[in-house]
Amino acid sequence: YILPQRLSGFRLDKALVHLINKTSRSQIQKIINDLQVKVNDLIISYSDFKVKENDVITVELKKTAALTMQEADIKLDIFYEDEDLIVINKAAGMAVHPGNGNHQDTLVNALLHYTRSLSSIGGWERPGIVHRLDKDTTGLMVIAKNNFAHVHLADQIQSRKLIRKYKALIWGVINPLHGIIKNNIGRSRTDRQKMTILKFGGKEAITHYSTEEIFFNGLVSMVECKLATGRTHQIRVQLSHLRHSIVGDQIYGNNSRKINYSPPIIQKKLVDFKRQALHSWYITSKWKIIGISCFSSRGYVKNNLMSLNTIKELLISAAKKLRLAGISLENLEARILLQYASGKGSEYLLSRGEEEIPLEQRIIFEELVKRRLSLEPIAHIIGSKEFYGYEFIVNNQVLIPRSDTEILIEAILNNLKASSNEHSKPSFKSRNIATQNITMLELGTGSGCIAITVSLELPNIRVVATDISKEAIMTARQNAAKHNVLKRLQIIYSDWFNNLKNQKYDIIVSNPPYVSQQSTTYISLETLKYEPAIALFAEDDGLAAYYIIAKSAKNFLKKSGKLFLEVGFNQSVAVIEIFSKYNYTFKQIYRDLAGYDRVVLFSIE
């Protein structure tokens, strides 16, 4: 160092305090006593030596110092490391150095366990520490592994060449959206643990800020803060002074503003967040130390609330939770929930795994996953289920459409196609079938998925659908309106055939309740808990509904009419016997993809 005129006549120790940033007078005195300081090539061993303008002061720092503090086996998130530096991603709740009764669980204790190569300029309590983060602030910190690195970093901070950027989630939206906060900060006279904005005195504090995202109609916003100075609690104090305190700040928070305009789960998450949502995400510096000319690092928020997690990270995390809860197809379900929360399609999520999900969507996604972990069916969570290529509204008043029931649709379409003398191979979509005068009755329509799908596949068919549940009828009508078939589909309240007129139909179809009351152990917990029992269970070993249909269906079938019935596991033989007793003609069995009997076709001839 060449002594500037402004320090001429100062004591050596006092001059060095001004020249070497982030060092105390006692630390400088120790360096002098250790014979590490020269003035004009002469070793000076006493601190009150007077220096004058243009004196050349050389500080020959020892590489490291003896470190005697207690170690702590705490895993560090190492972001970058070389022979001079360690850049760590500090976790929340970790104090940087010992103090206030905590002498063993700090970052310094963890660093000493990791390496003994740390700078000593900061003193025995702060080896390697050049700058600090508050205990509950997360993110990047630069650690000096030797005294040379420490001095250079300290000089960068003092000359404002070390660029430090933070992301903060704050209450409300700052006006203007971008700007500079400039004021003086000092210790509060009423609470010595806090810093405050001072009209007179204190130290100048400068922060450049930029609003990046606004959430929940301005309830909270994400801002980036770039430090031009490094005062204690600088960002927290300045934002609080503007009445836009950081979410979760327990010291400077003024988050009493109304939050009634956001969903309850989001309100609760914001209010319950108990530490400042502040993250050091970017540090860059240009300097010269043993082969290093430039150091730059970028790190995104990894904490609980502020996280802008990538699509891939969210899907992996959610799938793991679902798998541990015993939910199969966990990857598919995680993707469906994220599609619903983000509004993005499956192809988008699969092809852009490194993109980040905004905070608002992430909070919604986490709540959806939590609901699924309680075994709420995914169809109920998102409010819909695909059936035969169409989306249907579902709720806890109707049975969730199953893919096995699509066999009913294929059986009807293929049978009609064969009857219309079209000899081409049956197609999955059979809109060309001649159905001008064909009528169909569905018993127990539930969500309406069978009746509506047939109406969509066969635009000229006339369909009547019944159900005993008024709530189910309401849902079926919603689905009919959704698919624009209300004018072609009559949905009526009826206990089986009771409210039907003496009209006869070409087709009667039903997926009746067929699970035995004694077979609940074979039904999933989510089905038992969330789906209507009236649509699942039947007496007489699950065959009661088939007896009812067998007794009356022939009174509503035209001559040569067809009756399509879905059956449960190992029920086809019993169902055929029941209908044979009532003089129906068994025609065919349709099997599902697993090879089990799923649909039985009867006729009256």
Point out the residues that are catalytic. 134
Give CA–CA dist 144/147, Å, rounded: 7
Look-up of token digits 């009236």: 534
Cβ-contact 513, 536 below 8 angstroms: yes
Cβ-contact 137, 279 below 8 angstroms: yes
At position 251, the amino acid (one-letter code) is I
Look-up of token digits 């970093």: 153
Question: At how many degrees (to 10) do helices 470-482 and 449-457 cross?
Answer: 30
Look-up of token digits 């070497």: 20
Give CA–CA dist 544/393, Å, rounded: 28
Nearest C-alpha neighbor of 87 from the set 98, 76, 72, 96: 76
- DSSP for 109-160 reads HHHHHH-S----TT-TTSTTBSS---TT-EEEEEEESSHHHHHHHHHHHHTT
Question: At how many degrees (to 10) do helices 264-272 and 359-373 cross?
Answer: 100
In angstroms, the Cα distances linking 132 to 128, 328, 366, 515 are: 11, 46, 32, 65
Cβ-contact 440, 506 below 8 angstroms: yes
Give CA–CA dist 558/570, Å, rounded: 29
Residues 437-462: b if buried by 16+ CB within 10 A, e if exposed: ebbbbbbbbbbbbbbbbbbbbbeebb
In angstroms, the Cα distances linking 511 to 55, 66, 119, 262, 315 are: 98, 80, 76, 42, 35
φ and ψ at 537, to 5 degrees? -105, 145
Helix residue spans in 325-461 (DSSP H): 330-342, 346-351, 359-373, 378-382, 406-419, 449-457
